[in-house]
Amino acid sequence: MADPLRLGVLLSGGGRTLENILREIDGGRLAGLAEVAVVIASRHGIRGIAIGEAAGAGVHVVRRKDYEKVDAYSEAMARLLDEARVDLACLAGFLSYWIVPERYAGRVMNIHPALLPSFGGKGMYGHHVHEAVLARGCRVSGCTVHFVTNEYDAGPIVLQRSVPAYAEDTPERLAARVFTEECEAYPEAIRLFAEGRLRLADGIVHIDESGYQRPEGA
């Protein structure tokens, strides 16, 4: 069996997505397949830092405002990933824009709480997304795991899962319903990556599903 995939998890908040990834590593579908090598937080004092420390991962805080230029900031981020020998960086509620260097192309994933290309782009994060979905009166929303490129929410899609949305929903209720699916989609995408089943061609992610049972609803 190959060594576990070394994950770098980037976060800006409560660390719920990191918790979910850790849960899947600890006896779930990522057991033996992945480990969290490093956590990078975009600010001090957030719960995600404590989650990472409790899991025994190296935790760093890298603040955008400590760098004049985005290039230097991005390079500082990438160097931390290098040092931790990260195979795959996972954005997990990470709100700071950084430029993915060429050596990490195809090795940075994000999860977006809507069905891209709807409700993506700059400023579309967290509750803003769910508010926009409800303001449009959508009956279906969902989540999208995608590779990160240097354009907001425009990278190749790995997985999407849908949920119903209702006119009577609050953004909080819709967010909770979407998050349940995020907790399925992100580990599943990481697993596919760890198993070498993802192939990128012409901006499209192809999934090698040989010998693979597609999970219900995916």
Indicate the residue among 54 and 140 with the shorter CB distance to a second copy.
140
Catalytic residue among 112, 128, 130, 146: 112
CA distance 158 to 190: 10
CA distance 46 to 210: 41
CA distance 169 to 77: 38
- The reply to whether 128 belongs to the active site is no
- Tell me which residue of 12, 11, 6, 40 sits closest to 25, measured CA to CA: 6
Indicate the residue among 57 and 115 with the shorter CB distance to a second copy.
115
Residue where the block lists tokens 């967010």:
175
Peptide bond before residue 117 is cis, with ω within 30 degrees of 0: yes
CA distance 112 to 118: 10
H helices of the chain, where?
16-25, 47-54, 70-83, 127-135, 171-194
Q: Where along the sequence are the contacts to a second copy (CB under 8 A)?
A: 115-119, 134-140, 142, 144, 156-162, 164, 167-168, 203-207, 218
Indicate the residue among 75 and 131 with the shorter CB distance to a second copy.
131
> Which residues belong to the active site?
112
